[in-house]
Amino acid sequence: MNTPVPTPPSNRSHGALSTRFSQRFGLRLPVALAPMALASGGALSAACAQAGALGLVGGGYGDLDWTRREYTLARQLGAAAQAEARIGCGFITWKLDQDASALDWLLDQADEALPRALMLSFGDPRPYAARLQARRIPLICQVQRLEQVPQALEAGAEIIVAQGAEAGGHGMNSLNGRATFTLVPELADWLAAHAPATLLLAAGGVADGRGLAAALALGADGALVGSRLWASAESLAPAGAKAQAQASTGDGTARSEVFDILRRKNWPAPYDFRALRNPLHRQWESRIEALRAAPEAARAAYDQGVAAGDFNAAHATVGEAVGLIHDCPPAAELLQRMAEQAQMLRKA
């Protein structure tokens, strides 16, 4: 049965938040849902679209059945709310290099059912550029360092996402990662000089209106929001993980390879994974090479935690903004709060 999309508390536009990004995609606020694998499903994407944001379905590792089901649901719910024009999708690029069947299915849709935008992260987007351009789908490329931007522009990216290392889930490791607060303005200056028509979104640590207003002040055209919408009513993240996140602070996360090893995810360097630093993570975080050499016992403990919903072993995928997460309301309410707080700060 389709999950109803909640009606946002207010349908009024937020003029103080109008940016090139919101104008380009017909949004009421300059926010995109991060396409979080296994969390940004159809209900959450549609809820964000109805609330006036860009709702990106988390195609993640490119599982065809999951992508087909959740993207179809997003379209159905979006159509019921007249918001389907604000629904897109995102994939992990290096995984598409191994299996692009989910992307193939998406690009085979009729013109009216194509994603409003498609986001690629963690790999070379250029092999997919011609197909996206042929279907006139705007390409969003996520980067973590300035040196990655020319490649994204060569692929035809219309939007660049500057992801700081504060972000939850996958991102650049601590040796190579940048902070959102410095990466965004540097990249904004670079784009203004070299590709002024390219839009810029900030990602990593944006969890309320203060973060959104700060992103705009730093030169971004909007924000890609992950952790805060991960902890929403429509998110597919486990209820136990959401509850653990609400009890944590920003001190409680760590970025490492631990959970990728435990989950059998062979991520390439220099990327790793930020999540809550639970007891199983702490047990192995200083012994990564030992874990990699003999992961069987730790994987069994992790698997048991997932099966039991025990987040002392299973992971909760959130970033450093977890300390700003204190409830789990509908996405429309979260976005409304964010918009109103940012609008107030922009007018101050």
Q: Which domains does the chain have, with CATH numbers?
A: 16-237+326-347 (3.20.20.70), 239-308 (no CATH)
Which residue bears the tokens 């918009």? Answer: 339
Q: Is the pLDDT of residue 194 over 80?
A: yes
Instruction: Answer yes or no: is pLDDT of 3 > 70.
Output: no
Give the per-residue pLDDT at 14.
58
**What mean pLDDT is reported for the chain?**
95
Q: What digits encode the pLDDT tens for the residues 129-161? A: 999 999 999 999 999 999 999 999 999 999 999
108 pLDDT exceeds 90? Answer: yes
pTM of the model: 0.94
CA distance 83 to 42: 12
Amino acid identity at 29? L
pLDDT at 92 over 50: yes
Question: What's the pLDDT at 348?
Answer: 78
Does 87 score more than 80 pLDDT? yes
Strands 271-276 and 169-172: antiparallel
Region label for 225, one of left (φ > 0), alpha (ψ between -120 and 50) or beta (otherwise): beta
For residue range 22-64, list pLDDT tens digits in order. 999 999 999 999 999 999 999 999 999 999 999 999 999 999 9
Compute how many other C-beta atoms are within 10 angstroms of the C-beta atom of residue 160.
26
CA distance 42 to 70: 4
Give CA angle at 282 (294, 268), nearest 5°: 55
Quick one: pLDDT at residue 16? 76
Q: How far, CA to CA in Å, does 306 sit from each of 92, 272, 312, 340?
A: 23, 20, 10, 37
Backbone φ and ψ for 321, nearest 5 degrees, come out as: -75, 0
- Write the DSSP symbol of residue 319: -
- Put residue 100 in one of left, alpha, beta given phi > 0 → left and psi -120 to 50 → alpha: alpha
Non-local CB neighbours of 222 within 8 Å, separated by 6+ positions = 19, 21, 22, 27, 30, 31, 32, 199, 201, 202, 212, 215, 216
Residue-level pLDDT at 12: 46
Query: What dihedral do alpha carbons 130, 176, 225, 80 form, nearest 10°?
Result: 30
| Percent of the chain whose predicted confidence (pLDDT) is above 90 | 94
Q: Which residue has the tokens 């990564």?
A: 288
pLDDT in tens, 9-27: 344 445 679 999 999 999 9
pLDDT digits (tens, 9 = 90+) for 216-254: 999 999 999 999 999 999 999 999 999 999 999 999 999
Kindly tell me if the per-residue pLDDT of 80 is higher than 80.
yes
Q: Report pLDDT for 347.
A: 85
Is the model's pLDDT at 6 over the cut of 70?
Answer: no
